Structure 1
Amino acid sequence: MLPDFQFRKSTFSNDEAECVEVALNISDIVALRDSKVPDGPILRVSPAPWDAFREALVTGTFDR
């Protein structure tokens, strides 16, 4: 049985935006999916890499 992920989209998104939805409601799993393909594949990662990725975005590590 698959977990019952409760996905949410960023508040920065609008209906035309291509966004990633994130589910954080299952312990020890961060689930991600394409908002335009809700029945498509789901990427699952553990919280530590997800937190490191988010921190890199916030601090501008990926900025050119």
Structure 2
Amino acid sequence: MRPLDLSAVTWRKSSHSNSDGGACVEVSGDFAAVVPVRDSKTPLGPVLAFGAPGWESFISGVKQGALDA
């Protein structure tokens, strides 16, 4: 698998990130098959890339409260 070229992607911050700059997750929707995710506090740091179907399943579970502690 080749590394993703993330040099020109558009990042958007999660609507659930808090306003004081902490706990900020950013995702990019620029790829069809994968969803890159990063910590907005370290934009040059590591990026996790999830398969789009797995990411969609995760988001669905979050919205349904299936992952609430």
Which interval holds the TM-score relative to the shorter structure? 0.7 to 0.9
Q: Note the alpha carbon deviations across 1:5-55, whole angstroms, 9 max, x for none.
A: 211102343242321100011221200000110000010111100000001
Is 1:6 aligned to 2:6, yes or no? no
What is the aligned partner in structure 1 of residue 24 from structure 2? 19
What is the percentage of aligned positions where both structures have the same residue? 34
Runs of 4+ in 1 over 6 A off after TM superposition: none
For structure 1, the 5+ residue unaligned runs are none
Report the Cα distance in structure 1 between the residues aligned to 2:45 and 2:29, rounded to whole angstroms.
Answer: 18
TM-score by length of 2: 0.78
- Which structure has more RCO (C-alpha within 8 Å, separation ≥ 6)? 1
Report the Cα distance in structure 1 between the residues aligned to 2:56 and 2:62, rounded to whole angstroms.
Answer: 10
| Kept in 2: contact 1:5–1:31 (CA 8 A) | no
TM-score by length of 1: 0.83
- Aligned partner of 2:37 among 32, 40, 50: 32
